[in-house]
Amino acid sequence: MSNSAINTNELTTLFTADTPLIDVRAPIEFMQGSLPGSVNLPILNNEERALVGTTYKHQGSEAAVRLGHKMISGKIKQERLQQWLSFIQQHPSAVLYCFRGGQRSKITQQWLRDVGVNRPLITGGYKQARQFLINAIEQFSANHSLLIITGPTGSGKTRLIQQISSCYPTLDIEALACHRGSAFGSMSVPQPTQVDFENQLAVNLLKLKQGNQPDPVVVEDESRNTGRVYLPASFFEHMRHSAIIWVDEPLETRVDSIFEDYILATPIGQALQARRGTQQLSSATEIQTILNQHALLLFDKYANALQAISKKLGGVRFQEISQDLENARSSFVNRNEIQANKIWIEKLVKYYYDPLYLGSLQRRQVNPVFKGSRQAVMDYLLARQA
For the annotated catalytic residues, the residue numbers are: 98
Q: Cα separation of 148 and 136, whole Å?
A: 20
Q: What is the DSSP letter of 40?
A: E
Question: Residues with Cβ < 8 Å from 285, sequence gap 6 or more?
Answer: none
Which of 133, 140, 128, 130 minimizes the C-alpha distance to 202? Answer: 133
Q: Yes or no: say if 294 and 268 are a contact pair by the CB < 8 Å rule.
A: yes
Q: Cα separation of 191 and 180, whole Å?
A: 11
Find the farthest-apart pair of alpha carbons in the chain and give their distance in angstroms, rounded: 72
Prior bond of 214 cis (ω within 30°): no
Q: Yes or no: say if 192 and 173 are a contact pair by the CB < 8 Å rule.
A: no
Q: Cα separation of 210 and 112, whole Å?
A: 33
Q: Cα separation of 219 and 230, whole Å?
A: 15
Q: Yes or no: say if 370 and 148 are a contact pair by the CB < 8 Å rule.
A: no
Q: Cα separation of 173 and 201, whole Å?
A: 8
Which of 333, 129, 366, 146 minimizes the C-alpha distance to 234? Answer: 146
**Identity of the residue numbered 251:** L
**Identity of the residue numbered 26:** A
